């Protein structure tokens, strides 16, 4: 029987959903109107107002807070709005429907957002901080793509709009959803990342390719039937397992193991809205109690980053969130009548149902909308459509429960809601305590530069046109560390291995270079493709100059037009030269400087990177020095001008810094949104006072040569234009000493750098005697001293 009044026991601040609405349009259909995002969202809001059972203006007048789900156009620093957009979307929509909210909020990126925001603002209502909230989300991806396509001949509309007013923009909050390593190896798109997870699950279950494709198709075929009956679906067509999984011209492989029809469909024009009020406000407005739906249980949990998960095929936080939400609701999974599990890719569903024991063919069904590949994936807002559907169902079926599982990132963020028309008090959850337990789990160590024998842990291949495509491999080195690598585009042996029925578990060999890690079928295949080349000097270089003078090597960065900034080719040449220097027994000291009188080096060539050039840095770091593990012979930095950013980091990696009186030093990375990650954050506080180092790092403050000398950053200053003369003088002084003693001293200082106990560190340096007592140079030094003659060093 429909309810006509709320139970008297309910707290007036109890949150209750009183209205839901959806709106959509499909390209090419007779009623297609090319609606903007704000206009489509306004339609969904009007539908939600009408769904309350009372006049829309009365509801609009009560809305205190408007909360928007972030669109894909503003979900990352790389996203954009090609047609423009209002400067304050929540208030643009409010203006269209007659709302004047006190507060406007724009949520963070992620498919968990609709449920997470609803939970949050239901809590705000329960706490008495607000009494009526509108949540909305909208995407016009299909329209935007149509209007910006080359085939579109009409005039592009300008959807920009100046609205102004207060807005609480919470930003992207996408930290941890990807990493520099994943970006370096092209594992950036969700489709590729989920494919890696999916393939890991396939291997864990022992499924062959065909069997697993059938399993994915059998999971999603019932979704298509639901989508076919949903008027808001982007693809309202029922499909068989074979139609979903067989590779055809219209259902190509988009990333192994996915065909196009198995992944979220982003060509949608869809919007949804939800009105939540307090019981007191609902009663005051006269909203019938048979429109009320209560949030009985909820949970919000975060999973470990993908690369840190011990098992790539599992993300246990999702199932834990479902279980906790059911506990808050005080019901069991068997009590749930309606389910909607976020379904951007098959593994997103499997990750929830596997540990909970839900069968893929559960008679309740696993979607209320038709799922993201078929109903459509409206950016971050999909689950608001699911919430609208579950509200409709639990209103009709008395005493029923609906469960919404919303997912964001790479199974990274899970928000769960349990809904029912049965009245209940607001129930807080203990997600924070459960999150602390999940956070305490071990995380797998990762290797940035991977070299050696390894085992494939998972993979995916992105097909290319008339070429093998891009292959991404995640693996484990024999010590257990995880790495990510690519396959060279013409390595047919590796592509053939990955095309096999189950390449996971295969033994391979990985090699690191300036462009990242590359994986090969075995060590011999790696050597055949990359023969070992002994370190040595070339006759000429394009971006540097070298000069040998006896035991001294002089290296000049020759890019004065770019303030001697380092790009990929310059880094590669410097790395090669220093490999040769450290391998040549006849070279005992090196000097590094920059061409001209303006700059030693301005660090990374940001202009080249911004122009699309790859950020290719050798394993040994900038200039082949900043990450070099064993610098067994001294390198002197002759700073002839600016030493900024990576340039200062290169100088800090050298053993001695001498400077022109006009030189200046700084780490300005924070001023361009970067950080001094090539050693500056470590070496500068070790070289000068930590207080001054923090000042320089956090503000970009520069030191002139005199200040640098006072701070202990440089050891000597030369008159203007004479820094190389000073550097050669220092080199001569070093060369006058025993090269064996110099090298042993460098090694000993490096070995004890991390020993906090000074006495223990001193004891550790005594091991240098083992080298010195067996050295000809030691005998020669003592003999020459006794004989009152200059020593004749041999370097051994």
Which residues does the annotation mark as catalytic?
649, 669
- What CA–CA distance (Å, rounded) separates 377 from 190? 13
Structure tokens at 719: 């008159």
- What CA–CA distance (Å, rounded) separates 111 from 379? 7
Kindly report the length of the chain: 796
- What CA–CA distance (Å, rounded) separates 435 from 273? 29
Structure tokens at 614: 């790859």
Structure tokens at 438: 């999940």
In the sheet with 635-639, reading across from the earlier edge strand, the strands are: 544-549, 552-557, 589-594, 635-639, 656-660, 716-718
CB 139 within 8 A of CB 72: yes
- What CA–CA distance (Å, rounded) separates 285 from 56? 11
First to last CA, the chain: 97
Classified as helix, coil or strand, 350 is helix
- What CA–CA distance (Å, rounded) separates 262 from 229? 19
What are the Cα distances from residue 128, in Å, to 44, 61, 131, 426, 556? 27, 18, 7, 12, 68
- Return the DSSP state at 630: -
- What CA–CA distance (Å, rounded) separates 547 from 727? 14
Name the packing angle between helices 680-687 and 690-699 (round to 10°).
140
Ordered alpha helix ranges (H), 131-234: 141-147, 180-184, 190-205, 209-228
What are the Cα distances from residue 593, in Å, to 443, 547, 600, 717? 42, 12, 6, 14
Name the packing angle between helices 37-51 and 89-97 (round to 10°).
50
Structure tokens at 671: 């001023």
Burial 371-395 (b: 16+ CB within 10 A, else e): bbbbbbbbbbbbbbbbbbbbbbbbb
Which helix or strand (DSSP H or E) is residue 594 part of?
strand 589-594
Instruction: Output the CA angle 312-315-318, nearest 5 degrees.
Output: 165
- What CA–CA distance (Å, rounded) separates 387 from 382? 9
- What CA–CA distance (Å, rounded) separates 723 from 730? 11
- What CA–CA distance (Å, rounded) separates 772 from 397? 88
- What CA–CA distance (Å, rounded) separates 416 from 386? 12
CA torsion sign, 65 to 388 to 16 to 324? negative
Q: Taking Cα atoms as reference points, which of 530, 453, 460 lies closest to residue 491?
A: 530
Q: Judging by DSSP bridges, how do beta strands 132-140 and 168-169 pair with one another?
A: unpaired
- What CA–CA distance (Å, rounded) separates 459 from 665? 44
What are the Cα distances from residue 415, in Å, to 113, 114, 631? 8, 9, 51
What are the Cα distances from residue 268, in Å, to 224, 376, 404, 413, 771? 16, 6, 21, 23, 71
Structure tokens at 311: 């098992």
Structure tokens at 114: 């609709």
DSSP string, 223-236: HHHHHHT-TT-SS-
Structure tokens at 377: 């994936």
| Helix and strand counts by DSSP (H, E) for the chain | 27, 27
Structure tokens at 546: 């070298």
- What CA–CA distance (Å, rounded) separates 769 from 626? 28
């Amino acid at each position: 029987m429909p309810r006509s009044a709320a139970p008297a026991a309910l707290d007036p601040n109890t949150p209750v959903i009183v209205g839901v609405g959806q709106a959509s349009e499909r390209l090419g259909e007779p009623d297609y109107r090319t609606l903007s995002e704000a206009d489509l969202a306004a339609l969904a809001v009007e539908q939600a107002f009408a769904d309350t059972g009372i006049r829309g203006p009365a509801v609009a007048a009560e809305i205190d807070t408007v909360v928007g789900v972030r669109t894909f156009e503003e979900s990352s620093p790389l996203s954009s709005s090609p047609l423009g957009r209002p400067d304050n979307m929540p208030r643009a929509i409010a203006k269209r429907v007659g709302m004047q909210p006190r507060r406007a909020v724009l949520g963070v990126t992620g498919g968990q957002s609709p449920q997470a925001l609803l939970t949050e603002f239901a809590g705000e209502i329960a706490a008495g901080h607000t009494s009526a909230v509108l949540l909305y989300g909208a995407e016009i991806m299909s329209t935007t793509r149509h209007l910006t396509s080359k085939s579109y001949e009409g005039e592009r509309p300008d959807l920009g709009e100046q609205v102004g007013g207060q807005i609480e923009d919470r930003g992207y909050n996408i930290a941890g959803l990807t990493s520099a390593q994943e970006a370096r190896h092209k594992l950036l798109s969700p489709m590729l990342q989920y494919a890696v997870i999916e393939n890991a699950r396939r291997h864990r279950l022992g499924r062959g390719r065909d069997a697993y494709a059938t399993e994915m198709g059998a999971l999603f075929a019932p979704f298509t039937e639901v989508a076919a009956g949903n008027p808001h679906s982007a693809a309202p067509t029922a499909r068989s397992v074979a139609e979903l999984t067989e590779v055809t011209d219209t259902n190509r492989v988009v990333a192994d193991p996915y065909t196009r029809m198995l992944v979220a469909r982003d060509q949608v024009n869809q919007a949804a809205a939800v009105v939540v009020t307090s019981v007191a406000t609902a009663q005051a407005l006269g909203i019938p109690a048979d429109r009320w739906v209560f949030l009985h249980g909820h949970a919000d949990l975060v999973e470990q980053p993908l690369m840190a998960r011990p098992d790539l095929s599992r993300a246990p936080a999702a199932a834990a969130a479902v279980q906790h939400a059911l506990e808050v609701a005080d019901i069991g999974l068997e009590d749930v009548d309606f389910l909607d599990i976020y379904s951007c890719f098959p593994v997103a569903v499997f990750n929830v149902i596997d540990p909970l024991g839900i069968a893929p063919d559960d008679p309740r069904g696993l979607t209320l909308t038709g799922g993201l590949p078929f109903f459509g994936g409206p950016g971050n807002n999909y689950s608001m459509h699911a919430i609208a559907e579950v509200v409709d169902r639990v209103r009709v079926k008395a005493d029923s429960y609906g469960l919404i599982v919303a997912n964001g990132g790479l199974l990274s963020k899970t928000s769960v809601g349990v809904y029912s028309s049965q009245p209940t008090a607001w129930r807080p959850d203990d997600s924070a305590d459960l999150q602390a337990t999940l956070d305490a789990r071990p995380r797998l160590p990762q290797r940035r530069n991977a070299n050696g024998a390894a085992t494939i842990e998972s993979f995916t291949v992105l097909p290319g046109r008339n070429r093998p495509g891009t292959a991404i491999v995640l693996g484990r080195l024999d010590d257990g560390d995880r790495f990510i690598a690519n396959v060279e585009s013409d390595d047919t042996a590796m592509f053939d291995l990955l095309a096999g029925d189950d390449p996971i578990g295969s033994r391979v060999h990985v090699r690191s270079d300036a462009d990242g890690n590359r994986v090969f079928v075995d060590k011999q295949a790696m050597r055949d493709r990359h023969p070992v080349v002994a370190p040595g000097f070339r006759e000429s270089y394009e971006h540097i100059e070298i000069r040998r003078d006896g035991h001294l090597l002089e290296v000049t960065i020759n890019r004065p037009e770019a303030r001697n900034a380092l790009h990929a080719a310059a880094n590669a040449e410097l790395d090669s030269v220093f490999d040769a220097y450290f391998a040549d027994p006849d070279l005992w000291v090196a000097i590094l400087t920059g061409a001209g009188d303006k700059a030693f080096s301005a660090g990374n060539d940001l202009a080249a990177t911004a122009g699309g050039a790859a950020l290719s840095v050798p394993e040994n770091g900038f200039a082949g020095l900043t990450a070099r593990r064993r610098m067994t012979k001294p390198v002197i930095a002759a700073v002839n001008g600016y030493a900024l950013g990576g340039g200062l980091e290169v100088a800090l990696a050298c053993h001695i810094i001498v400077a022109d009186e006009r030189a200046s030093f700084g780490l300005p990375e924070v001023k361009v949104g970067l950080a001094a990650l090539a050693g500056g954050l470590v070496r500068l506080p070790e070289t000068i006072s930590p207080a001054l180092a923090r000042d320089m790092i956090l503000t970009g403050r520069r030191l002139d040569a005199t200040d640098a000398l006072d701070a202990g950053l440089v050891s000597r200053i030369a008159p203007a234009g004479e820094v190389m003369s000073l550097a050669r003088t220092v080199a001569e002084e070093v060369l006058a000493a025993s090269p064996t003693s110099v090298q042993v001293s460098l090694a000993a200082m490096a070995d004890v750098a991390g020993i906090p106990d000074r006495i223990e560190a001193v004891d550790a340096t005594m091991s240098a005697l083992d080298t010195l007592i067996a050295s000809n140079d030691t005998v020669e030094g003592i003999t020459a001293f006794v004989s009152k003659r200059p020593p004749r060093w041999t370097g051994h």
